[in-house]
Structures are given as structure tokens and as C-alpha cells.
Amino acid sequence: MLLLVVLALSAASGGADTATAPKPLFGGTLVVAAGDPGVLNPAITSSGQVHPVTGQIFNGLIRLDRYFAPTPDLARSWTVSKDGKTYTFQLAPNVRWHDGRAFSSADVKFSYDEILLKLHPRTRTLADVIERISAPSKNVVVFRLKQRYAPFLTWLDEDNGAILPRHLYEGTDPLTNAVNLRPVGTGPFKFESYTPGDRVVLVRNPAYFKAGFPRLDKLVFRNIPSAQAAQAFEAGEVDVYMFPSGPDSLRFLNRPGITVTERGREGLARVVPLILNNRKSPFDDVRVRRAMAYALDVEFIARTAYAGVLRPAKSPLTRFISWAYTSKVQQYPHNVARANAILDETGVRRGSNGVRFRTSLIYDAGFARQAELIKSQLGDVGIVVDLRLMDMNSWVRRLYIDKDFDMGYTNFTHPADPDVGWKRIYLCSNYVKAPFTNGSGYCNAEVDKLFNQAVDVLDQKKRGDIYKKLQRKLASDVPVIPIADGIGPWIYRNSEFRGFGNAGSKEQFAFGEKVWWTKGSSSRR
Amino acid sequence: MLLAAVAAATFVLISLAPGDTAQVLAGQAGADPEYLALIRERLQLDRPLPYQVGSYLQAAAQGDLGFSIIQGRPVRDAIFARLPASLLLAATALALSALLGVTLGVIAAARRGAAVDAVISVFSLVAYSLPVFWLGQLLVALFAVRLHWLPAGGMRSADAPGDIVDVARHLVLPATTFSLLLATLIVRVTRTATAEALGEDYVRTARAKGMSERRVLLRHALPNALRPVTTVLTGYLGIILTGAVLVETVFVWPGLGRLLYDSVLSRDTPMLAGMLLFSSSLVVTANILADVLYRVLDPRTRFQ
């Protein structure tokens, strides 16, 4: 009998659904509603449209589990030298590229030296840390670092460190190489076809180096934008809905045969901040920023604008990075009287019309409801907010390039490690003219020092203590006001597909390896 | 000349819009300024605009529309990859709308002032003002989600790709929606032109000869009314590309309209310039085609 598993959001952190499932079966086609990926080269982009596809075709050296601990992928084991500066990786034996060529340590060295450290928008910053990469034997790769760098291993997954075939990329321009559209990887699925705007089809790699995997025969990524994906999912035409909106998530919650869960997306978790321009009056006064934090009802914003799929933020860092997270920081429970009192104290008094000051909020279309709520809640304490809707590119230019704004609202991800995604929002040296850097202009030498210290500490607990100290400091200084914490769920049909929940914190990029079909056959024909 | 101006204008407009391909490639990863500089140099986005336009036009004159980093392939390939889907949708919609529009227009003209005429007028007014997004979603909700008669979107289903029946089933909703949109104008034009023709002397003569009203309408009035209808129809050819943006987006149709939309969002200059160049050459071609058709439909023009 088919056991229908219904996972409510609140229970989403519970066990994987294989815990209740029988023995995996073989065969079947899984259909995914996804974006149009364009180039299928994972080493030159951090795009969320590309990696759900390329993550099934390629591998990194490691994969991150749900708690961001490294687990084997192309590297089956590794050792770290005493000084913490040399990482030696033993590669899995008998790995072959999809075209039949043997994979070796030379592919790893080439991928990093020639592509990842030059062209991957995130990973190229590692070039400052890595002294040299060597391949002493076919199955061994050694990374020598210039200094101790605690988050090093978290960079080595497919998302940030996909290994490409040297024999197809050497001597070419990786940005324009035609192989980018018919990728050759080492992963569980082989590329079959890509029809732009329509679909990407992948088929099982029978020679996959992890014996017994994958179980499915085929993965089809249909290019369906999120507004249409809900209907396609409802009509039974797709089995996985990658990036549902809040209302869509609620729509499918508690339906038999459907799982709505954040599990497998932890690696994309973040705290969504309201960015204040700290270099502009009156936001340069920390008391004004605190008063605004009291004025905002983040519980209400999370419940309504995020339809309850994100939680109100209790700290500047996401709760999903649990080893570093603390909620024991200055909290700003919704309190209009308190906000008014502080503002009166600072001298930002109400005029005869009840207005303290007039300001503006820039946001893009995805955040209309959040913007309305922020406007109305700040209005309650006499701060009049003009809403300025703009498209994403204009928003980026205003906030990060021209720095011509009062308040701004958008998403950030804190990918897997506080040093990778979180630091950039606060670091003084990261107040530069580039997108998604330190937008607020906050500058605190002590904060910069702590961030730099943290990467030198290899002991995770001690390192976590530094980040907890940072959270306390940042919660007290509120350069940005943390609004909502979480990832938002993804949705799949558990009545026909099992084995989700086992592929780590970026499962959305790697589910194909373990998922299986309940109507499959018991042996591989 | 005209085409060169279109291409140049595209470059200017895109450069005025905030953001560029380098930023889009960087995503929300928080890329450093050096990365942006590197990509801009590679794509020549750091060169002065006149230089960019000049080198683009020079290459385009030799048939090279450039390379789209976002799409990962030459612009020409990207356009031709999407063209069949666009042509299929547009041709079906044009045929349906011509059939529907002319039929309703003639009926309305023949029954001027009667209830039928009023109904048709109201119908075309409503169809004209319906937002495509709303109508499309409604049709999908009804026929795909509720009744399961037709697929919700796309051009082929996951399990029967390439099957003609499968493609046809996917075509029904977008083609119907698109043709309703196109038909409204044809109804109005046909009605007016036919009504005008019905007032002409040769129609009175035909009636005086005792011809049936049906024959008068189809043999005498309609052929003369077709010329303005042709103008409308050939005018539509240009929107095979641009006009289908909304329909293709709602129904997830893998055609040029959606490519255009995506390219605007990703500030993909060579892709946009290529598509606008392509669509303006379609318009030019359509106008030439219209002139030829006039000659066929209207013997008077042959002696000018």
C-alpha cells in the first residue's frame, strides 16, 4: 500500500521520507519545473537557474550535509596538515567522464586554476587564499593555502567548485566554449538535450562512480516560470516545483501526496534585511535605527507578506547555520511607544503635521507587500515613507553603485558559511561599487577584525563563538534591520517519488542521485 | 539603412537602462568590482558606445549577429532555435483569427443594427480589452487544472515529445487566446469595409439583377473589403516576434517572445539587437508582401 506522507512546514525538519519508505526501485522519469538555465557551465556562474541542472551532471570534491559538514563526493577522503594550511584529497577511483575518458587529479587542478579561480563570480575570491594546487598523483590533489582559512572545505561543492573536463576546456575560452551547451560531467546523469526556453533532458549515467545510483532513468527540467509552475504542478504535469511563491506553498501544504519542505534548501538560507543608508542622516544615528527596529512588527511581516513560510528574524544571521547562530542578542519586539520615545530623545521630533521625517524605500516588484507593510508601520511613528518600485537592475544601481538611496529591501543568501555570504553585508572593506556587497555603508573596525579573526580559527565551536559575538554587536548596531529568516520551501510529489531529504543542504542541486520512483521495478533491467 | 538605425537604437536604449550583462552574470553572489571589470572587458562593454555600435554593424553586415554569453551560443543560432515554435503559434493564430474575424465581420455587416451585430460588437470589444494574462490563466485553470482536457503550458509534454497530437494539444489554448486577441481588430475592419462595399453602386446593380443576398455579399462585397483586412493581417506579421511576448509567457511557449522578454531582463545586448533586427526585417518583408497581395486582390493597382 502506498503510504502518503504529509509533511507540514513545522515538521519539515523531521526525518527524511525514506525513513518510512520501502526498498528503492529503479526506472522512471522525474519532471521538474525550473527556470531556463542558458549556459550549462557550473564553474562560471552562481545562478540559481543553472545549478539545479548542472548539479545532476557534475560533482565537486565534496558535498555539504544538512549541517554544512563536508561529506565525500569526488574526494573520498581528505586530511588537513597541522598548520591548517595544506589540504590533501584522495579522489574516488574509477571515475569516468560521460564521454568515457578517465577522470583524474589533473581535471581538478585545471578546473580551479583555469576556470573557477578566474571566472566563478564567488569562488574567484578564493584566489587570494590559495597559494598553489598540485596533483602529485592521478588520485591525489593538494591545496596549499597562504593562511589558515576555516571555511575552505565549504567552497568545494558543485555550487562553488564544479570539476570540469580538462580535455574539453583546455585552450578554449570557458565563457564561449560550445561544450557549455552539451556538458560532459562525472555526475549521476548525462546530458541528452537542451531546447532553449523549453526543456533540458538528462539520462541516467550507468557508469556512475557511486554504485547503485542513480535510480531514475531520466530527469526532465521543463522551463516553466513560477507563476505558471503552480498550475502545471496542480495539473500533474510536473513532479518538482523548485521555487514556489509563499501563497503557492500554502496552497499545497497538507495535501496528500505532496511534500512542502525547506529541507534540502538549507544551503540557500538567509536573513532578509531592510538596508538603511548608514552614511545618511538620520540613519547615521544608531538610536534612530533602533527606534525603527522597534517600530517594525517583523512577526506580522513574516506572517502576512511571507505567508508564514519564513520566520521573523531573531538575529542578523540565519538560524540554519546552527553552529554559529544565536538568538541571544538585542531583540526589538514591536513597540510603538518605545520607538516614539527614542525618536523624541534623539531630537527627530514630530512637526505640526505629526511627521518626523520623510524618507523613501526602494524595492523590486517581488517585495511589494513587504514594502507596503514597512511604509505603514514606520508611518505609525511619524516616519513618512515614499515607495519607489524599480526593476532589479535599477535597484542594484541605485543602492550598490550610485549609493543614492535611504532604505532598500531585497534578498541575500548566506550560502553555507557566515564568511561566504554573510560577512559581505557588513565588512567595511566591502563598501565598494559592486552588486550585493555592503550596501548600508556600515563601518566598524572591531567588526572587520572579528570577521577576519574567525577564518583563522579551525575549531568550529570557537569559531562559532566569534560569530555569536558578531551577531550581538550587529544586533546592537542595527546597520540593517533583519526582517525574515529562512529559505522558503520547495514542493514535490511524494506519492510517486521518494528518497528526497538525503542529499545535503543544497539538495535542490543534487536530488537526482538518490530519488526513486514508487512505480519502478525492483531490479535494473 | 532602416535596419542599421534599429540596431543602433537598440544599443543606445540598452546602454541607457541600468545594469548590464556582467551584473546579471554575477547574480547575487556579491561579485567584486574586478570580476565585473573582467567580464565587461571580455564583452567589450567597457568600450565607448559608438565603437560598440560600429563594430556590431560591421559584423552584422556580414551576417554575424554576435555571441550571447547568457544563452551560451551565437545570437543567430539562438533565434533560429526558437523560430519554429514562434512560427507555429503565430501561423495558427493568424489563420484562426482571419477565419474568425472575417466571418464575424461579414455577419455583422450583413445584419447591421440587428441583435447579432450588437452581440458581435460587444464580443470584439470585450475580447480586445481582456488582459491576456487574466484570460490565459483562466483558461489554464479551467481546461488544464480542473478538467484535465489540455496541458497547462509548454509545447510538448514530458513523455511524448515530438508527437504531433501532443504538440497540437499544447497549441490549442495559446493559439485560441492569441487569435482572439488578433481577431478583434479584423472583425472591426471587415465589418466597416464590407458595410461600405454594400453601399456601393455595383452592389445595388447586383441586387437589381436579382442576385441572392448571400451571393452579393460573398462575390461582390467581400472581395472588395479584403484589402484593408490584408493590411491588418500583414501588419500582424511583424508581431510574430514581439506581439507574442505575453501569450508565450502565460502559456510557457518556447518561442521568440519569451526570449525577448528574458533578454531584456538579462540585459543581453547582442541578443536584443539581433532579435529587433530580425523582427524589423520581418516587418519590411511583410510590407513588401502586402504590396504584392494588393496587386493580386485589387486589379486596379496592376496598371499604376
**B contacts of A31 (beta carbons < 8 Å):** 158
pLDDT of residue A30: 96
Map chain B to HEC letters: CHHHHHHHHHHHHHHHCCCCHHHHHHCCCCCCHHHHHHHHHHCCCCCCHHHHHHHHHHHHHCCCCCEECCCCEEHHHHHHHHHHHHHHHHHHHHHHHHHHHHHHHHHHHHCCCCHHHHHHHHHHHHHHHCCHHHHHHHHHHHHHHHCCCCCCCCCCCCCCCCCHHHHHHHHHHHHHHHHHHHHHHHHHHHHHHHHHHHCCHHHHHHHHCCCCHHHHHHHHHHHHHHHHHHHHHHHHHCHHHHCCHHHHHHCCCCCHHHHHHHHHHCCCHHHHHHHHHHHHHHHHHHHHHHHHHHHHHCHHHHHC
Question: How far is residue A115's CA from residue A189's CA, in Å, rounded to a whole number?
Answer: 22
**Residue A181's closest chain B neighbor by CA?**
B72
Interchain proximity A196–B78, CB inside 8 Å: yes
Please report, in tens digits, the pLDDT of each residue of chain A (525 residues total): 233 333 333 333 334 444 455 789 999 999 999 888 888 999 988 777 889 999 999 999 999 999 999 999 999 999 999 999 999 999 999 999 999 999 999 999 999 999 999 888 788 889 889 999 999 999 999 999 999 999 999 999 999 999 999 999 999 999 889 999 999 999 999 999 998 888 999 999 999 999 999 999 999 999 888 778 888 898 888 999 988 877 788 888 889 999 999 999 998 888 999 999 999 999 999 999 999 999 999 999 998 888 778 899 999 999 999 999 999 999 999 999 999 999 999 989 999 999 999 999 999 877 889 999 999 999 999 999 999 998 877 888 899 889 999 999 987 777 789 998 899 899 998 898 887 889 999 999 999 999 999 999 999 999 999 999 999 999 999 999 999 998 889 999 999 999 999 889 999 999 999 999 999 998 876
Contact A235 B145 (CB under 8 A): yes
- Collect all residues with Cβ–Cβ distance below 8 Å to B283 and sequence separation of at least 6: B237, B238
The answer to whether B145 contacts A234, with C-beta atoms less than 8 Å apart, is yes
Give DSSP secondary structure letters for A343-386: HHHHT----TTS-SEEEEEEE-GGGHHHHHHHHHHHHTTTEEEE
Q: Could you tell me what percent of chain B has a pLDDT over 90?
A: 4
Three-state SS sequence of A195-249: ECCCEEEEEECCCCCCCCCCCCCEEEEEECCHHHHHHHHHCCCCCEECCCCHHHH
Q: Is the pLDDT of residue B34 over 60?
A: yes
Looking only at Cα atoms, what is the longest distance across chain A?
81
For residues A57 and B255, the model is more confident at A57
Confidence of residue B218 (pLDDT cuts 50, 70, 90): confident
In A, minimum Cα distance to B66 occurs at: A176
Across B59-64, average pLDDT: 81
Of B25, B72, B158, the CB nearest to A31: B158
Distance CA A170, CA A164 (A): 10
CB-nearest to A29 from B85, B140, B159 is: B159
Which of A36, A178, A392 is closest, CB to CB, to B262? A36
What's the pLDDT at B239? 67
Q: Which of A54, A237, A413 to mutate to test the interface with B (most CBs of B within 10 A)?
A: A237
User: What is the least distance, in Å, from the CA of B227 to any CA of chain A?
Assistant: 37
Contact criterion met (CB < 8 Å) for A396 and B19:
yes
- Which residues on chain B are in Cβ contact (under 8 Å) with A412? 28
**B240 CA: distance to closest CA in chain A (Å):** 17
Q: Which of A117, A155, A224, A393 to mutate to test the interface with B (most CBs of B within 10 A)?
A: A393
Mark yes or no for CB contact A40/B72 under 8 Å: yes
Identify which has the larger pLDDT, A256 or B203.
A256
Nearest CA in chain A to B30: A436
pLDDT classification of B128: cutoffs 50, 70, 90: confident
Between chains, do A225 and B249 touch, taking CB under 8 Å as contact? Answer: yes
Q: Given the DSSP bridges, would you call strands A29-34 and A240-241 parallel, antiparallel or unpaired?
A: parallel
Among the partner residues A29, A231, A412, nearest to B28 by beta-carbon distance: A412
Nearest to A235 among B18, B25, B148 (CB): B148
* Distance (Å) from the alpha carbon of B83 to chain A's nearest alpha carbon: 11
For testing the chain B interface, which of A228, A404, A519 should be mutated: the one with the most B CBs within 10 Å? A228
Q: Do A39 and B23 touch (CB under 8 A)?
A: no
- For position A8, what pLDDT does the model report? 34
pLDDT for the residue A106: 97
Higher pLDDT, B233 or A369: A369
Q: Which residues of B touch A232 (CB under 8 A)?
A: 144, 152-154, 252
Of B29, B141, B249, the CB nearest to A436: B29
Q: Do B258 and A39 touch (CB under 8 A)?
A: no
Minimum distance, in Å, between the CA of residue B153 and any CA atom of chain A: 7
Q: Are A185 and A102 in contact (CB under 8 A)?
A: no
Contact B254/A195, CB-based, under 8 Å?
yes
Give pTM, 2 decimals: 0.82
Report pLDDT digits (tens) over B165-176.
888 889 999 999
| Chain A closest-CA separation from residue B269 CA (Å) | 14
Q: Between residues A25 and B127, which one has the greater pLDDT?
A: A25
Q: How many angstroms separate the CA of residue A222 from the nearest CA in chain B? A: 8
Contact A436 B140 (CB under 8 A): no
pLDDT range class, residue B25, cuts 50, 70, 90: low
Are B72 and A122 in contact (CB < 8 Å)? Answer: no
How far, in Å, are A271, A306, A333, B32, B203 from residue A298 at the CA level? 12, 10, 8, 31, 75
Contact list in B for residue A231 (CB cut-off 8 A) is 137, 140-141, 144-145, 152-153
Choose among A175, A411, A437: nearest Cβ to B30: A437
Residues of B in contact with A519 (CB under 8 A): none
How close does chain A come to B149, measured CA to CA in Å?
10
Interface test with A, best of B23, B134, B250 (most A CBs within 10 A): B23
Which residues of chain B lie closer than 8 angstroms to A430, CB-CB?
30
Contact A432 B19 (CB under 8 A): no
Interface touch A46/B72, C-beta < 8 Å = no
CA distance A236 to chain B (A): 8
Indicate the residue of A31, A231, A433 with minimum beta-carbon distance to B144. Answer: A231
CB B253 within 8 A of CB B247: yes
Q: B42-68 burial, b if ≥16 CB within 10 A, otherwise e?
A: bbebeeeeeebbeebbeebeeeebbbb
Contact A121 B153 (CB under 8 A): no
Chain B neighbors of A192, CB-CB under 8 A: none
Cα of B71 to nearest chain A Cα, Å: 5
| B72·A125 Cβ contact <8 A | no
Contacts of residue B22 in chain A, CB cutoff 8 Å?
none
For B159, the closest chain A residue by CA position comes to A29
Residue range B286-304: mean pLDDT, rounded:
74
**Cβ contacts of A432 on chain B, cutoff 8 Å:** 32-33
pLDDT at position B215, please?
Answer: 82
Residue A451 distance to chain B (closest CA, Å): 17
> What pLDDT sits at residue B29?
57
Across the interface, whether the CB atoms of B153 and A435 are under 8 A apart is answered no
- Number of inter-chain CB pairs under 8 A, A vs B: 159
Candidate from B30, B69, B71 with C-beta closest to A175: B69
